[in-house]
C-alpha cells in the first residue's frame, strides 16, 4: 500500500509541474504566475479541492500521442473565498499554450455544471490561445459545450473571467458572455485573432496592445470591467 501511495504522490507532483520547470520559469520571466499559483493566491488557504488532475487528451494525430501531460492544460476544482464556495478553472499556458482540447473542455464543463447545480459563483482564469488545432472540430465542439453553459448560467449564478495572457478565439468568446471581465495591463489581450493574421488578411499592421490590450477594452470597447498592473493585483 505504501508503494501505491508513493506512486500517487509522484504522479501528483508531476501534474503540479505543468509543462515543466523550463516553461514555468519562462512564465515567471514574462511577469506572470502559473495556473496553480493564481489559484493558491485567490482561494482561502488549504481550501482548494482539485478535479481530474490526471486527465490527458485523446488525440493521436500529428504526433500528439507522444505528447501527453497530466491535467491537459487546465486546473479545475472548487474552494472558498472568505468562506464562500466558488468553482473555478485556471488555464495553464505552460501546457500546450493552454489550448483547448476535447478533454480540456470536458473538465471545464464539469465545473460549470457543478457550479450551476450548487448555485455557486464560477471563476475562469484565462491564459490561452484558443482551440488546439491538432484536434480540429473535436476542440471546437468542446467550445460549443462551454458556451452553452455560459448561456444557461447567465442570470442564475455569477460568472467572472480574469484574462491573464494572450487570449484569442473561443478563449475570448466565452469570457465575453460572463458577467465580469478583468484584465492585466501589458500581459493580457483579447482578440478574435492575433496581429499576424490581421496583417495577412487586411495588410494592416497593429500591435497586440492596439488590437486587444487592457486599455482598448476598458476605455473603448467596454468589454472589460477593470485592468490591473499585474497578476497579484488582479487576483487580490
Query: What was the pLDDT predicted at 135?
Result: 80
Decide which of 10 and 92 is more confident: 92
Residue 20 has pLDDT above 90, yes or no: no
Which three-class secondary structure state does DSSP give residue 90? strand
Task: Say how far residue 230 (Cα) sits from the centre of its chain.
Answer: 17
The full set of domain ranges for the chain reads 2-235
Decide which of 161 and 198 is more confident: 161
CA atoms lying within 13 Å on the CB side of residue 202: 9
Question: Nearest to residue 172, comparing CAs of 194, 205, 156, 154?
Answer: 194
CA distance 70 to 19: 9
Residue 187 has pLDDT above 80, yes or no: yes
Residue 216 has pLDDT above 90, yes or no: yes
Query: What was the pLDDT predicted at 132?
Result: 87
> 89-102: per-residue pLDDT in tens?
999 999 988 889 99
- Per-residue pLDDT band for 138 (boundaries 50, 70, 90) equals confident
The pTM score is: 0.91
Query: Which CATH class, in words, describes the domain spanning 2-235?
Result: alpha beta
First to last CA, the chain: 41
Query: What is the pLDDT of the chain when averaged over all its residues?
Result: 91
- Under 8 Å between Cβ of 108 and 69: no
Amino acid at each position: 500500500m505504501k508503494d501505491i501511495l508513493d506512486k500517487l504522490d509522484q504522479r501528483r507532483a508531476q501534474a503540479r509541474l505543468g509543462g515543466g520547470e523550463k516553461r514555468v520559469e519562462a512564465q515567471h520571466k514574462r511577469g506572470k504566475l502559473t495556473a496553480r499559483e493564481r489559484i493558491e493566491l485567490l482561494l482561502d488557504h488549504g481550501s482548494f479541492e482539485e478535479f481530474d488532475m490526471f486527465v490527458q487528451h485523446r488525440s493521436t494525430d500529428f504526433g500528439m500521442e507522444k505528447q501527453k501531460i497530466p491535467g491537459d492544460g487546465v486546473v479545475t476544482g472548487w474552494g472558498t473565498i472568505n468562506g464562500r464556495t466558488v468553482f473555478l478553472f485556471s488555464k495553464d499556458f505552460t501546457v500546450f499554450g493552454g489550448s483547448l482540447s476535447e478533454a480540456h473542455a470536458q473538465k471545464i464543463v464539469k465545473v460549470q455544471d457543478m457550479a450551476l447545480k450548487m448555485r455557486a459563483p464560477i471563476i475562469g482564469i484565462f491564459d490561452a490561445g484558443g482551440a488546439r488545432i491538432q484536434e480540429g472540430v473535436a476542440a471546437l465542439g468542446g467550445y460549443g459545450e462551454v458556451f452553452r453553459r455560459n448561456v444557461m448560467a447567465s442570470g442564475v449564478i455569477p460568472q467572472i473571467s480574469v484574462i491573464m495572457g494572450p487570449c484569442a478565439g473561443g478563449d475570448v468568446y466565452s469570457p465575453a458572455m460572463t458577467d465580469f471581465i478583468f484584465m492585466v495591463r501589458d500581459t493580457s489581450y483579447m482578440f478574435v485573432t492575433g496581429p499576424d493574421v490581421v496583417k495577412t488578411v487586411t495588410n494592416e499592421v497593429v500591435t497586440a496592445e492596439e488590437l486587444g490590450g487592457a486599455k482598448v477594452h476598458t476605455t473603448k470597447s467596454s468589454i472589460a470591467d477593470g485592468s490591473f498592473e499585474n497578476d497579484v493585483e488582479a487576483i487580490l
